[in-house]
């Protein structure tokens, strides 16, 4: 999960899926960039975080989240439609939600997404 190119693709994937999920939720087209701190919060809440090596800053943790999603998508273990559906189903915001509150809601939605996806990853070698 330490592949820069994979994380870059995952960054774009996450931004696209979140933008569509948010657009559908608030009823208006918006393009969003998901902050590393949001993805870092989501991945740190999952047991998988203990398996991917010591990571101290939000940037590295966010990159790990992005690489996981890119890996699952590129290997056909999820689809963009599924990611959007899960995010949308767990994203409790409206068009008046503050940025701070939205970041918390987004972290929770990405946490739920990872919980759904984590079992599809290869098991850690013993």
Which residues form the interface with its own copies (CB under 8 A)? 3-9, 11-13, 15-16, 19-20, 23, 28-32, 70, 74, 80
Q: Tell me whether residue 33 or residue 50 sits nearer to its own copies (CB atom).
A: 33
28-53 burial by CB neighbour count: b if 16+ within 10 A, else e? eeeebebebebbbbbbbbbebbeebe
**From the CB of 57, what's the least distance to its own copies, in Å?**
19
How far is 75 from 20, CA to CA, in rounded Å? 22
124 phi and psi, to 5 degrees? Answer: -60, 135
Tell me if residue 39 falls in helix, strand or coil: helix
Q: Tell me whether residue 9 or residue 68 sits nearer to its own copies (CB atom).
A: 9
Q: Tell me whether residue 14 or residue 105 sits nearer to its own copies (CB atom).
A: 14
**From the CB of 112, what's the least distance to its own copies, in Å?**
22
Two structure tokens written together for 73: 């998508």
**From the CB of 13, what's the least distance to its own copies, in Å?**
6
């Amino acid at each position: 999960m330490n592949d820069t190119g994979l994380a870059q693709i995952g960054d774009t994937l996450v931004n696209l899926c979140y933008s569509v999920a948010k657009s559908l939720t608030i009823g208006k087209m918006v393009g969003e960039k998901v902050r590393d701190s949001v993805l870092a919060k989501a991945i740190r809440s999952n047991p998988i975080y203990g398996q991917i090596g010591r990571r101290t800053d939000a940037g590295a943790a966010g990159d790990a989240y992005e690489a996981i999603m890119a890996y699952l998508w590129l290997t056909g273990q999820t689809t963009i439609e599924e990611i959007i559906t899960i995010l949308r189903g767990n994203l409790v915001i409206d068009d008046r939600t503050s940025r701070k509150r939205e970041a918390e809601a987004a972290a929770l939605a990405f946490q739920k997404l990872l919980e759904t996806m984590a079992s599809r990853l290869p098991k850690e070698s013993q």
